Amino acid sequence: MTEFEGTAVSNQMELIAYANRLGGSLPGLKAILDGPLAGLFSGVHLLPFFPPFDGADAGFDPVDHSEVDPRLGTWHDIAAIADGHEVMVDLIVNHVSAASPPFLDWLAHGSSSDFARMFLTYDGVFPNGATEETLMRLYRPRPGLPFSPYTLADGTKRLVWTTFTANQIDIDVREPITCDYLQKVLDRLEGAGVRRVRLDAVGYALKTPGSTSFMTPETFEFIGEITQWCRERELEVLVEVHSYYQQQVEIAKQVDRVYDFALPPLILHALTAADADPLLAWMAIRPLNAVTVLDTHDGIGVIDVGADAADRSRLGLLTPAQIDQLVETMHDNSGGTSRQATGSAAANVDLYQVNCTFYDALGADDDRYLLARALQFWTPGVPQIYYVGLFAGRNDVALLERTGVGRDINRHYYASADIEDELQRPVVQALVHLIRFRNTHPAFDGQFSVSGGGRLLLAAWRTSDAVAELRADLATGTGTVRWTAGGVMCEAPLDRLGEGIGR
């Protein structure tokens, strides 16, 4: 594969991956990054490797957040990956596993436990009780109320706050013992050479009686506090919040990076409805200090383009009718498999996400998929690509059927031999050429512009002597790249970009 002439840019491509699902272990993942994927990614988001990495929520329910699951490797393996790539790791802010030693100690000793103040209970948040109206005001990512019953060793029954699953126990981030715990985790990450932390589920971390307990003023204050902890350790902060798009704009003002979670549904809408207008409207106001994604380990969010759940008069980037049409189109394009993995049809029910690979959401259409990736790569920000998306993966219905976990449909296991085979597919080869182009063409260090409307869109990066333009026809799902090379203007369709670069 021929690399494009030019200088490297600072916002190169990053990979999102589970070590156990891409390489089987941390050393296995490093071998893949240094082998068949060499030169493609400047950074990697290592999805949870804490024990147990195969727990109730694929590692997002850590028993010990400060350790590496020995089945995957050690902190030395993390440091080895960090030696050649900028590593990002999740700081799971909102909860710990019900099997964690501190929670087990609380169950055993109750109020006399050293960890008694670390965990949130119903009466701890609502000491005077709560009305039905107060409880219904709570913002929920999943059906039902956020409480699970637990029985202490002395027989006392308590309602413990569990935002996500009964195995994920919410912690009280206002308490010094909890702050000490989180800072010790940050110390361990800093020591392993991690460069960036992703604040997982931080939007739910502060519980304020009478409020939604989601992205409240108190939440913003806490994000500022934890960001300061990170900056003291020279760790960059990425905030993970699925919410009304204006909240992302506000969060971006006080942290290093936010996810552009509005981008995936807007690109899907553009390519399935031949309508660039909502995407162009977002381009005009979106924060520039963003990490761009099309797919992650979670589903494809739709809340990020909808009206404000707390105030429906605040309109979304898409109308309710457009969102409904988009969701149905994704289900149709996937042959109905995403419907089997979404909502009440599967465990890990998220009210705001469709569980589907991005490739299947576009009907496994190679041209539209490459154009979607090009639109992502041309959008200002740090581009990340999920490991299943790198290989234009299909919905893993067999894995879904084995586990019953909806998001597993987009969490395929790739063996080393599978990777070699996937890299031979034309759509993957074309995507690899596009990644190399994005990494190395000097125009991406310049100024960005975007124009168009309806079925057409033109995105361009320019410096004084370099140009990289993407011309998109959303109706046909095809794109063309025009770029400068040695003072000469070149042009090629997306699926033949590698041939054009090689001339």
Annotated binding-site residue numbers for substrate: 57, 95, 198-200, 240, 297-298, 350-353, 407
CA geometry: angle 196, 265, 392, nearest 5 deg: 75
Residues making up the annotated binding site are 57, 95, 198-200, 240, 297-298, 350-353, 407
Question: CA–CA separation, 357 vs 286, rounded Å?
Answer: 24
User: Is-catalytic flag, 200?
Assistant: yes
Strands 168-170 and 95-97: antiparallel
Question: CA–CA separation, 103 vs 113, rounded Å?
Answer: 9
C-alpha distances in Å from residue 205, one per residue of 352, 428, 430, 485: 19, 39, 41, 49
What are the residues facing 88 on neighbouring strands?
A: 45, 196
**CB-CB neighbours of 283 under 10 Å:** 19
Question: CA–CA separation, 459 vs 444, rounded Å?
Answer: 11
Rg (CA), the chain: 23
Active-site annotation holder among 14, 69, 240, 295: 240
Question: CA–CA separation, 120 vs 95, rounded Å?
Answer: 10
What angle separates helix 263-273 from helix 366-378, to the nearest 10 degrees?
140
Cβ-Cβ contacts under 8 Å for 477 (sequence gap 6 or more):
271, 365, 367, 368, 371
CA 74, distance to chain mean position in Å, is: 24
Secondary structure (DSSP) of 471-492: EEETTTTEEEEEEEETTEEEEE
Active-site annotation holder among 200, 304, 408, 495: 200
Are 294 and 371 within 8 A, CB to CB? no
Question: CA–CA separation, 130 vs 284, rounded Å?
Answer: 42
Show the tokens assigned to 393: 């993966």
Task: Return the H-helix or E-strand segment holding 20.
Answer: none
Secondary structure (DSSP) of 460-472: EEE-SS-EEEEEE
C-alpha distances in Å from residue 489, one per residue of 126, 350, 448, 463, 483: 66, 47, 18, 14, 6
> Among 308, 351, 347, which residue's Cα sits nearest to residue 327?
351
Question: CA–CA separation, 306 vs 309, rounded Å?
Answer: 8
User: Is-catalytic flag, 236?
Assistant: no
Task: Return the H-helix or E-strand segment holding 297.
Answer: none
What are the residues facing 14 on neighbouring strands?
A: 43, 384
Q: Measured between alpha carbons, how far apart are the two ends of the chain, in Å?
A: 12
DSSP state, residue 405 = B
Question: CA–CA separation, 334 vs 38, rounded Å?
Answer: 31
Point out the residues that are catalytic: 200, 240
